[in-house]
Structure 1
């Protein structure tokens, strides 16, 4: 019953930010690391100082680190993205804070997107609404005449053209963390999807040290430390399955349930995107003051349920969670304690 997974603690990881890094209007100025309309200024090298290099060397696990947000507003915006992408871009500066406020109230996360290699002039001024909640999965694309249109447009899938199949968003937000650009850009260019319309670069997804980070819509599966051209992830989703070795979790699912799902998938070989739906998460009494324990009930096969007990504890030492971190932060390590399959009650 050794350590199972690790997840970000309360400092250093912005994965839970519902509006994609726009909560602080006092942005530190524009960064041109992510410019695609002119030759980009190199964000540096993947040397031993980079957070993603250190995370790989420590064998950090990315399991149970998917965002709690399960709805997104995607805004096509080529050109430079600063650290606070929506506020530090060529998006209308008067509209941006109002849009961020609306998104925060609605529990929708804002992501800027662009095609790999796009220039600013290539923008089709597209925007999309994505929903990954079970039974409501979908992604709908529309075109805006002005940025202000997004302040009143419905975010419910009632407008726009539905996207067929999967859409892949690769975090390339070098203005937030250099590792996202250094690892994300090559992945976005190489990802072997059926067509170029299925791949977008996107702003900050969270979990910088797990770059290259990938979000698969409409189901909301987060992947980290994606190797090579990402072909194994694409092939798995073409089969209606998850690519378990790099799966961070499904958006909108509580962290204990993400950890339980991952362990149950490993043990039972259930890789379908809809397998092992969470039915309940119950806190349990833990042995130590800093440990937290849960019993997670998942939907099994043939009318059964799978009951998994998981526990998280503080990591013994603080580590550097992002390249720009001014001080180390702590993660919590996940441990699986038990798994049982039972008949569900009538």
Structure 2
């Protein structure tokens, strides 16, 4: 059976610069089934889900639902675990709290959270990495078929804190995983490679081989940062920052800075992936956008 993931892998579609963009993640525990548009198609009150989605628009905050791996109750009693994470280099943090009613979250200042200001929300997460594995089969069957077994394996192995999550984008790269606190997304993972990613994250590093990008940057910045990592061999998660991203003809000129003072200029262009392929199972074949970065120039 051909799926969007098998076809993407066979066509060697690059993973780099495909991460969902979000400076801050607002993750709300909600057990039970999830629909394709989970915020308004789950046991979460539809009005609350729609209001959170509306309030987050333009703030840099991405709202998603999470649940524990494995079998779960069809409904959920209070409280609901809430994880909020800001992913900018050198300023990343993870805070957690719990709410009796998710409607309480409508009082949050999402603009401030998107800017990296938590205002003392909840308590600081001091444990290891937090892994979010996309498992929403109503969004794409590959996420359920590949994501749920991975989430269960990681949870059983005790490799950090593991949650199933509703949507990380890029179904054709399943199984996909976002890891906090740094906010790097990964794709085409196996149990072994996912454990490698979590161990590296715990040590303050990223694994470029499986990386889709850091969610705090737009796709041109993700592409440029990845190109610098490949050119230099740098894996420290917080070593690189996208300093400037400006339009340059038909693409972008992106400046990347290292914490040691080194700087690089990386040209990035946007093209399409050929031949056409479905971006998600059941969808018509299309030509997904792809970013090409380089050559990397030392400044």
When normalised by structure 1's length, the TM-score is 0.77
| Partner Cα distance (1:93, 1:255) in 2 | 31
1:147 aligns with 2:102: yes
More displaced stretch, 302-311 vs 63-72:
302-311
> Could you say which structure has the larger radius of gyration?
1
1:286-343 CA distance string (max 9 Å, x none): xxxxxx3322211136422112223332334322110031x2221234334422223x
What residue is the counterpart of 2:291 in the other structure? 334
1:170 aligns with 2:137: no
| Partner Cα distance (2:103, 2:291) in 1 | 44
Which 5+ residue runs of structure 1 have no aligned equivalent? 1-46, 286-291
| Partner Cα distance (2:243, 2:90) in 1 | 14
What residue is the counterpart of 1:132 in the other structure? 87
1:93-126 CA distance string (max 9 Å, x none): 3322222221225342111101112522676411
Which 5+ residue runs of structure 2 have no aligned equivalent? none
| Partner Cα distance (1:222, 1:100) in 2 | 21
1:182 aligns with 2:145: yes
- Structure with higher helix content: 2
When normalised by structure 2's length, the TM-score is 0.88
| Partner Cα distance (1:333, 1:148) in 2 | 38
Aligned match for 1:78, one of 23, 27, 31: 31
Instruction: Give the paired residue count.
Output: 288
Aligned match for 2:271, one of 313, 319, 323: 313
1:106-154 CA distance string (max 9 Å, x none): 3421111011125226764111222112343112111112122121145
Question: Is residue 205–residue 213 contact of structure 1 (8 Å, CA) maintained in 2?
Answer: yes
1:116 aligns with 2:65: no
**Structure 1 residues 72 and 112: alpha-carbon distance in aligned structure 2, compared to 1, 3 A threshold:** same
Report the aligned-residue RMSD.
2.2
**Structure 1 residues 232 and 192: alpha-carbon distance in aligned structure 2, compared to 1, 3 A threshold:** farther
| Partner Cα distance (2:58, 2:261) in 1 | 38
What residue is the counterpart of 1:217 in the other structure? 180
1:294 aligns with 2:249: no
What residue is the counterpart of 1:19 in the other structure? none
What residue is the counterpart of 2:240 in the other structure? 276
Q: For residues 235-254 of structure 1, what are the structure 2 equivalents within 5 Å? A: 235-254=199-218
More displaced stretch, 206-215 vs 194-203:
194-203
Q: For residues 33-48 of structure 1, what are the structure 2 equivalents within 5 Å? A: 47-48=1-2
| Partner Cα distance (2:258, 2:91) in 1 | 21
Question: Is residue 193–residue 234 contact of structure 1 (8 Å, CA) maintained in 2?
Answer: no
